[in-house]
Amino acid sequence: MQIKMQPMGAYQTNCYIVTVDDHDFIVDPGVGATEWVFQNVANPVAILNTHGHFDHVWSNAEVKKALSIPIFCPEGDVFMLEKDPFGQGTPPSRADVAVKPDEVIDIEGTKVKFLHFPGHTPGCSAIEIGDAWFCGDFLFKQSIGRVDFPYSDPAAMKESLKRALAYPENPILYPGHGPSTTLEAEKRVIPYWLKAI
């Protein structure tokens, strides 16, 4: 598995291109991501959204139209792609597949699991490919996603953090903002956030 990453837009939202067996998965094409994506894919097969916030899905429609590939989005956040609930002028897009919580999808022979960690948004997910989590705005290095936005749920975030604490493996985390980390490293700070919420 090869991973390319580029921060996009004013919020420096990480867009990832994940290449598995010569298939390119585009994770969270945010503001201004289109040109970088075009320059770095050879065989694109899917757009994967960790959640529906505008800075993660801004270029969905443009990339989908140009590359003729489907959009996979957690079902709880599909409405954000279509309705621009934060009034940011986000170009509307439509999920071709509304992914159910913890669903595993086979895309061109690669198993992609959308681990459901609601709280930041209703559908917020960590997309598991191999030993990596593309975890959007669920976990960051020594931090977590905010829970004071519309559609956020602090109680749900607490349950999601408890679930992450109990997760038996140690995936590499590729967050929506900032540098990569590991789940083991974040387990050391999750108790702090559980008290802080």
- Summarised one tens digit per residue, pLDDT across range 155-195 is 999 999 999 999 999 999 999 999 999 999 999 999 999 99
pLDDT at 151: 97
Measured distance between the N- and C-terminal CA atoms of the chain, rounded to whole angstroms? 35
pLDDT at 103: 98
Q: What is the DSSP string of 157-173?
A: HHHHHHHHHH--S-PEE
Domain count, the chain: 1
Structural domain for 191, as ranges? 2-196
Among residues 69, 60, 71, the alpha carbon closest in space to that of 34 is found at 60
Record the tokens describing residue 60, joined without a space. 């969905």
- Show Cβ contacts of residue 105 under 8 Å, excluding neighbours closer than 6 positions: 72, 97, 99, 111, 112, 113, 114
pLDDT at 92: 97
Residue 111 backbone dihedrals phi, psi, to 5 degrees: -85, 125
Average confidence score pLDDT of the chain? 97
Phi-psi region of 78 (alpha: psi -120 to 50; beta: other; left: phi over 0): alpha
For 14-35, what is the mean pLDDT? 98
- Show Cβ contacts of residue 30 under 8 Å, excluding neighbours closer than 6 positions: 8, 9, 11, 13, 15, 55, 56, 57, 58, 59
Helix, strand, coil percentages for the chain (3-state, nearest 5): 25, 30, 40
For 97-125, what is the mean pLDDT? 98
Residues in the chain, total: 197
pLDDT at 166: 97
Residues 154-158: contacts with CB within 8 Å, 24+ apart? Answer: 154/119, 154/197, 156/118, 156/119, 156/122, 157/118, 157/119, 157/120, 157/197, 158/119, 158/194, 158/197
- The CATH number of the domain holding residue 56 is 3.60.15.10
- Which residue do the tokens 């709280």 mark? 119
Residue 114 pLDDT level (bands cut at 50, 70, 90): very high
pLDDT at 41: 98
Containing 113, the helix (H) or strand (E) segment is strand 110-116
pLDDT digits (tens, 9 = 90+) for 39-89: 999 999 999 999 999 999 999 999 999 999 999 999 999 999 999 998 999
